[in-house]
Amino acid sequence: MDTLIHPTFHKASPRIKISSAPPNKIKIPSVFTREKKRKLPTLSNTPLPLSTHPRRILSQMATTTAAAAASSFIGTRLPDVYSNSGRIQARFGFGGKKSKPKKSIKPSSDRPLWYPGATAPEWLDGSLVGDYGFDPFGLGKPAEYLQFELDSLDQNLAKNLAGDVIGTRSEASDVKSTPFQPYSEVFGLQRFRECELIHGRWAMLATLGAITVEGLTGVTWQDAGKVELVEGSSYLGQPLPFSITTLIWIEVLVIGYIEFQRNAELDPEKRLYPGGKFFDPLGLAADPEKKATLQLAEIKHARLAMVGFLGFAVQAAATGKGPLNNWATHLSDPLHTTIIDTFSSS
Indicate the annotated binding residues: 196, 199, 201, 236, 259, 266, 298, 303, 315, 330
CB 113 within 8 A of CB 133: yes
CB 229 within 8 A of CB 337: no
- Distance CA(323)–CA(222), nearest Å, equals 10
Assign 218 to helix, strand or coil: coil
Residues paired with 165 in a beta bridge: 148
Binding-site positions for chlorophyll b read 201, 259, 266
CB 148 within 8 A of CB 166: yes
Binding-site positions for chlorophyll a read 196, 199, 236, 298, 303, 315, 330
DSSP of 116-147, one letter per residue?
A: TT----TT--S-STT-----TT-TTSPPEEEE
In terms of DSSP bridges, do strands 234-235 and 144-148 run parallel, antiparallel, or are they unpaired? unpaired
Residues paired with 235 in a beta bridge: 238
Q: How far is CA 56 from CA 4, 5, 33, 67, 161, in A?
A: 14, 16, 15, 17, 54
Cα 186–Cα 192–Cα 259 angle in degrees, nearest 5: 80
